Copies of this chain bind each other. A is one copy, B any other.
Amino acid sequence: MKTINIIGSGNVAYHLIENINTLPDFRLQQVAVRSKEKVLDLVSGDLIVTDIKNLKPADLTIIAVTDDAIKLVSDEIPYQNHLVVHTSGTTSMQMLNDKNRKGVFYPLQTFSKSRSVDFKNIPLCLETEQENDLKCLKVLAQQMSDKVYEISSEQRKSLHVSAVFVSNFVNHMYAIGDKICEENNIPFEILHPLIQETAVKITSLSPEEAQTGPAIRHDEKTITTHQNFLTNETFKNIYKLITESIQNV
């Protein structure tokens, strides 16, 4: 039975704790948080510390805090020569303090506390300095998820940029659609099936094959009509730029 310490209480930390609680071969040893209330529904009070200095050594320590805090938090860990990983898509593994063995455990998913997630379907991107630590991390990852990848710090950086495009920017496209619907008294739900089909389509076609619409058809008449329709200057510029990009890929 391996022991795990978690530092943090944000969305990633919360879902990790929830999941570790269900694993037979791993035991949540301690959780370090700023305020106890955030995880009291998942962890019994005696396992929670509010000062990182009070953590006891564990086989694995997972730092699930904001990117800016990773360095500081890893400096404060009171033990050494143990495996310490962070969960960030953008932070280099080298940002972790040298006193412990370094690694990364990056779950590539968008987390909201209010939505439960099926960890089995979340790609876990692993990286460690030492080969042996990778084995340990893999055992944990494979108990949590069916999708485990070895991804270097350099690859992870590019993966995070891709994720911003396919998730954050995609969601903003939804937000613009929502706003246009609202202004024209159309229920946004009318677009839900199209949104779902567009997302499902690329599991069987490449995005290039799946591209439809006035831009790829070079239907300049419709493109002009749409641009004239848009009164919001930012939306108009986005329409223009993405249309050009579709036509030039």
Q: Are B177 and A165 in contact (CB under 8 A)?
A: yes
A-B pairs with beta carbons under 8 Å apart, 22 shown: A67-B222, A109-B193, A109-B194, A112-B201, A122-B193, A149-B190, A158-B186, A159-B181, A163-B177, A163-B191, A164-B226, A165-B239, A167-B213, A172-B211, A172-B249, A175-B211, A195-B199, A195-B202, A196-B199, A198-B199, A199-B199, A238-B245
Taken together, the copies of this chain in the complex come to 2
Residues of A in contact with B (beta carbons under 8 Å apart): 67-68, 90, 108-112, 114-115, 117, 121-123, 125, 147, 149, 151, 154-155, 157-181, 183-188, 190-208, 210-216, 219, 221-222, 225-226, 229-230, 234-235, 237-239, 241-242, 244-246, 248-249
CA separation between A168 and B211, bound complex, in Å?
6
Residues from chain B with a CB closer than 8 A to the CB of A203 are 192, 196
Q: Taking each of A172, A177, A226, A244, which has the highest tally of chain B beta carbons within 10 Å of its own beta carbon?
A: A172
Beyond known contacts A90-B225, A167-B212: 11 more, CB 8 A cutoff: A109-B194, A110-B201, A125-B190, A149-B187, A157-B229, A158-B183, A161-B229, A167-B194, A167-B213, A170-B199, A175-B208
Contact status A171-B207, CB under 8 Å: yes
Most buried by B among A109, A123, A198: A198
Main SS class of interface, A = helix
User: With A190-B149, A229-B157, A234-B245 in contact, is A198–B176 under 8 Å at CB?
Assistant: no
Known: A172-B242, A173-B166. A121 touches B159 (CB 8 A): no
| Cβ contacts under 8 Å, A221 to chain B | 67-68
Among the listed B68, B159, B242, which residue makes an inter-chain contact with A186, where contact means beta carbons less than 8 Å apart? B159
Minimum Cβ distance to chain B for residue A42 (Å): 21
CB-based contact A172/B207 at 8 Å: yes
List, in ascending order, chain B residues with CB within 8 A of A177's CB: 162-163, 165-166, 207
